[in-house]
Amino acid sequence: MRADRLVATLLLMQSRGRVTAAEVAEELEVSVATARRDLEALSAAGIPVYPQPGRGGGWSLVGGARTDLSGLSSTEAQALFLLVGPAAAVSGEAKAALRKLVRALPQTFRADAEAAADATMIDSTRWGENTRRRPEMVDLLQVAVVRRKKVQLTYSNNARQQSERLVDPWGLVDKDDIWYLIAGTEKGQRTFRVDRIVTAVQTDEPAERPDDFTLAAAWEEVVGEMEQRRSRTWATVLIDGRYLPILNDHFGRHCHSEGRSDDGREQVRIAAPTPLDIARNLAGWGTMVEVLDPPTVQAELARIGTELGGRYVTET
- C-alpha to C-alpha distance for 60 and 39, rounded to whole angstroms: 10
Closest CA to 94 of 17, 182, 176, 8: 8
Residues 112 and 20 grouped into a single domain? yes
- C-alpha to C-alpha distance for 244 and 261, rounded to whole angstroms: 14
> Mean pLDDT over residues 228-233, rounded?
79
Give domain status of residue 264, yes or no.
Answer: yes
Question: Is the per-residue pLDDT at 237 higher than 60?
Answer: yes
Give domain status of residue 21, yes or no.
Answer: yes
Question: Is the per-residue pLDDT at 66 higher than 50?
Answer: no
Residues 156 and 191 grouped into a single domain? yes
Task: Tell me which amino acid residue 5 is.
Answer: R
Give domain status of residue 66, yes or no.
Answer: yes
Q: How many domains, in total, are found in the chain?
A: 3
Judging by beta carbons within 10 Å of its beta carbon (0-12, 13-18, 19+), is residue 149 exposed, middle or buried? middle
pTM: 0.48
- Residue 172's domain is classified under what CATH number? 2.30.30.520
pLDDT value, residue 50: 75
Residues 255 and 284 grouped into a single domain? yes
Question: Is the per-residue pLDDT at 172 higher than 80?
Answer: yes
Residues 205 and 284 grouped into a single domain? no
- C-alpha to C-alpha distance for 153 and 218, rounded to whole angstroms: 20
pLDDT value, residue 47: 67
Of the chain, the end-to-end C-alpha distance in Å amounts to 61
Residues 26 and 96 grouped into a single domain? yes
pLDDT value, residue 97: 53
Residues 38 and 95 grouped into a single domain? yes
The whole-angstrom distance between residue 23's C-alpha and the CA centroid of its chain comes to: 32
Closest CA to 7 of 64, 116, 83, 62: 83
Residues 193 and 255 grouped into a single domain? no
- C-alpha to C-alpha distance for 261 and 238, rounded to whole angstroms: 8
Give domain status of residue 220, yes or no.
Answer: no
> Mean pLDDT over residues 300-306, rounded?
93
Closest CA to 59 of 32, 26, 20: 20
pLDDT digits (tens, 9 = 90+) for 83-126: 555 554 545 555 555 555 556 655 655 566 556 656 666 565 55
- Residue 32's domain is classified under what CATH number? 1.10.10
Residues 77 and 105 grouped into a single domain? yes
| Residue finishing a domain among 179, 212, 245 | 212
Question: Is the per-residue pLDDT at 240 higher than 60?
Answer: yes
Where in the sequence is the domain holding 242, given as residue range(s)? Answer: 231-312
Residues 109 and 200 grouped into a single domain? no
How many residues in total does the chain contain? 316
Question: Is the per-residue pLDDT at 193 higher than 50?
Answer: yes
Give domain status of residue 122, yes or no.
Answer: no
| Residue finishing a domain among 181, 212, 243 | 212
Give domain status of residue 132, yes or no.
Answer: no
Cα torsion at 62, 67, 73, 79 (round to 10°)? 90
Question: Is the per-residue pLDDT at 235 higher than 90?
Answer: yes
Q: Poorest-confidence range of 93-97, 116-120, 262-266, 269-273? A: 93-97
* Residues sharing a CB contact under 8 Å with residue 314, sequence separation 6 or more, in sequence order: none
Give domain status of residue 223, yes or no.
Answer: no
More confident residue, 217 or 301: 301
- The overall average pLDDT reported for the chain is 79
pLDDT digits (tens, 9 = 90+) for 9-55: 777 777 677 888 888 888 888 888 888 888 887 776 666 677 776 66
Residues 65 and 94 grouped into a single domain? yes
Residues 102 and 9 grouped into a single domain? yes
- C-alpha to C-alpha distance for 87 and 133, rounded to whole angstroms: 18
- C-alpha to C-alpha distance for 65 and 309, rounded to whole angstroms: 75
The pLDDT-based confidence of 251 (bands split at 50, 70, 90) is confident
Averaging pLDDT over each range in 67-76, 84-93, 96-105, 288-297, which range is the top one? 288-297
pLDDT value, residue 2: 57
More confident residue, 23 or 152: 152
Give domain status of residue 258, yes or no.
Answer: yes
Residues 19 and 54 grouped into a single domain? yes
- C-alpha to C-alpha distance for 243 and 212, rounded to whole angstroms: 45
